[in-house]
Amino acid sequence: MRLEVNNSTNVQSLYNQCKQMMSYHVILKMKDGSEVDGIIESVEPDKVNVLVGEDVMVGGSGNEYSAQRQYGNPTRYRRFNRRNYLLANLLALTLLPYPYYAPPYPYYAPSYPYSPY
C-alpha cells in the first residue's frame, strides 16, 4: 500500500514537470533504462504526447540528389513522429542541454588621429 502512495506521488510530480516543460525539447528516461528525446506536445493525467525525432537520410550514390551534392554526400534532415508514453513508465525528465554560444566579440572602431572630413 505504501508503494502505491509513493508511486502516485511520483506520477503527480512527473505530471507537474511535464506541464511545466510543455513545448520544450526534453530527454525522457524510462524505467526500463531507455532514453527518448523529443518535444512535449501535450500532457494528460495518465500519458504524455511527445514529438520524437528521427534522422532521415536522402540521396547517396546512384540517386538524383548525388549529382546536386558535392562528392555525392547524402542529405540529412530530421523528421518528428508523435508518440504516447505512460506517466507510470517515466522515471525522470530533463531538459535537453543545448551548447551555450558566447556572444560575438564587440567591434571597437580604432581612433584615428585625423577627422574624416
Domain harbouring 12, CATH code: 2.30.30
Side-chain half-sphere CA neighbours of 76 within 13 A: 4
For residues 8-13, give the mean pLDDT.
Answer: 82
| Domain total in the chain | 1
Domain around 60:
2-95
pTM to 2 decimal places? 0.64
Residue 103 domain-assigned (yes or no): no
Phi, psi angle pair for 15, to nearest 5°: -60, -45
Q: Residue 64: pLDDT band by 50, 70, 90 thresholds? A: low
pLDDT greater than 60 at residue 2? no
For residue 11, tell me if it sits in a domain.
Answer: yes
pLDDT for the residue 84: 94
% of the chain surpassing 70 pLDDT: 62
19 part of a folded domain? yes
pLDDT at 57: 78
